[in-house]
Structure 1
Amino acid sequence: MPDISSPAPVTALPPLAAQAEHLIALGVHELAGIPADELRAFAAAAGYADSDTLLAVHPDRAPASALAPLLRHGGKPGFVVTDMSDADRFGPCDAELPDAPLYLITGLDRGDHMANWSPQEALPALAEQDRTPLLLTEGIHWVLQQPAILKRNRCFMTIGSRLRKANGALDARTPAIWISNGTGRDGHERRNAPKIGWCWWGNRHTWLGFASATNRRH
């Protein structure tokens, strides 16, 4: 297992007011059923205008399947892989969300220092560092606001989202966000597009870190 190093800081996110306006321009407020003025007011009242804080919409209001097409990379829209049609059923696991339609996420890290770890290895390590793994929708929000965070060979998993089966066991798939090579069922036309996919719980990938944060608050 690779050595654990301190999470590296990310470049500054836009101010929360600008993040709110971007979500409004994308129509996220409409799909979430949140008035634009309510979204603006939440951002204005948060008081974190100059810090690295991400504005997120609760996944119950804005699911991954609705957010994914809003992503852009290389001028191409994001998509969910065909064998993850149940993406919206991947709910919070080992991550506690505020009971509110809008909330804030602080201390974001892409988890590059955990590249080539398996999700099974990464989850307890994040807990030891008092970090919480990002949900799939949170990872999408991050890329929406800071597209440069998604780089080829520097993509990330969002293991705060897991799918629980009818028998209570967790599905072995773990969601991730990366850049399509345009091969297989993705289709050549999707080369370089942002891709919502999954990896097995026990597998390692050199090009996938584990996105996490220090805190969530309303």
Structure 2
Amino acid sequence: MIPMRTIAEQLDVLENAGVLAFAHNNKADVRTAVAALRAEGSEGLVALHQRWFAASELAPLLTLNGKKGFVVGDMTDVDEFTPAGINLPDAPLYLVRGVRRGDDLHNVSPQEALVQFEASHRRPLTLQEGLSWALSTPAIIEANSCFMTIGSRKVKRIQRSGEVVYDSRTPALWISSGTGRDGRERRGAPKLGWCWWRNRHTWLGIASAYA
């Protein structure tokens, strides 16, 4: 498993790569959050909040094997996948503790994993949190050990009863094989795609953190 970089190291990577310049809201809030995290004495994943940073703009900033990341062609609605049942700090950058890639959850469906998380006081990573991890530590996306970020879902509709019906896709980060619509030039590039909520994959974990 790839070790988590220090907070300062993660911030340096994000700043040097120009990631923080992609913030949609008040840039002063970003500078304040960065300063607060640099003063933080603990450990954790520096996460980019989805209200400030769009997944569609973060994915192309990913790099792996000298190639830039991309969003699959049939996920043009990627920015409509937002945190589901997860309360996030109201800050452009924040810390996530106890992050795991979920290698132990290979061949477990997102639906099954969510039940396990709830029983163990953990919660799934959101898409932006997964992207943040891959941006600051590109090697976390490894062949045969990539991961889903099932904490972000797209609301399909809300029933009269108030029940939320979600899209059956769930976001995932892995490495393109260069086949199909990806194109051969993207072989080995980091890829933001999706998997079905009830499907299992032997090479995809399900990332999580402390609840």
TM-score normalised to the size of structure 1?
Answer: 0.88
Kept after mapping to 2: 8 A contact 1:29/1:39: no
Per the alignment, residue 177 of structure 2 pairs with 181
Question: Could you say what the CA RMSD is over the residues aligned between the two structures, in angstroms?
Answer: 1.5
Flag the 1:110–1:142 CA change in 2: closer, same or farther, 3 A: same
Per the alignment, residue 42 of structure 1 pairs with 36
Q: Does 1:171 align with 2:162?
A: no
Cα displacement string for residues 22-62 of structure 1 (whole angstroms, at most 9, x for unaligned residues): 211122222114347434412222222xx3x1111211101
Q: Following the alignment from structure 1 to structure 2, what is the Cα–Cα distance between the partners of residues 37 and 114?
A: 36
Q: Following the alignment from structure 1 to structure 2, what is the Cα–Cα distance between the partners of residues 12 and 193?
A: 22
Per the alignment, residue 61 of structure 1 pairs with 52
Matched residue type, 2:179: T
Kept after mapping to 2: 8 A contact 1:114/1:210: yes
| Residue 193 (structure 1) shift | 0.4
Flag the 1:42–1:34 CA change in 2: closer, same or farther, 3 A: farther
Matched residue type, 2:170: T
Q: Following the alignment from structure 1 to structure 2, what is the Cα–Cα distance between the partners of residues 84 and 58?
A: 20
Q: Following the alignment from structure 1 to structure 2, what is the Cα–Cα distance between the partners of residues 141 and 90?
A: 16
Kept after mapping to 1: 8 A contact 2:157/2:166: no
Task: Find runs of 4+ consecutive structure 1 residues off by over 6 angstroms.
Answer: none
Q: Following the alignment from structure 1 to structure 2, what is the Cα–Cα distance between the partners of residues 61 and 37?
A: 13
Per the alignment, residue 119 of structure 2 pairs with 128
| Residue 14 (structure 1) shift | 2.2
Q: Following the alignment from structure 2 to structure 1, what is the Cα–Cα distance between the partners of residues 113 and 199?
A: 11
Matched residue type, 2:54: P
| Residue 178 (structure 1) shift | 0.4
Kept after mapping to 1: 8 A contact 2:55/2:127: yes
Q: Following the alignment from structure 2 to structure 1, what is the Cα–Cα distance between the partners of residues 112 and 41?
A: 36
Q: Does 1:75 align with 2:69?
A: no
Unaligned stretches of 5+ in structure 1? 1-9
Kept after mapping to 2: 8 A contact 1:17/1:40: no
Matched residue type, 1:42: A
Matched residue type, 1:81: V
Q: Following the alignment from structure 1 to structure 2, what is the Cα–Cα distance between the partners of residues 40 and 156?
A: 27
User: Identity of aligned pairs, percent?
Assistant: 52
Equivalent residues in 2 for 1:1-218 (5 A)?
10-32=1-23, 33-35=26-28, 37-48=31-42, 51=43, 53-167=44-158, 168-215=164-211
| Residue 169 (structure 1) shift | 1.4
Unaligned stretches of 5+ in structure 2? 159-163
Residue aligned with 1:181, SS:
coil
Q: Following the alignment from structure 1 to structure 2, what is the Cα–Cα distance between the partners of residues 102 and 24?
A: 12
Per the alignment, residue 161 of structure 2 pairs with none
Residue aligned with 2:192, SS:
strand
Flag the 1:21–1:39 CA change in 2: closer, same or farther, 3 A: farther
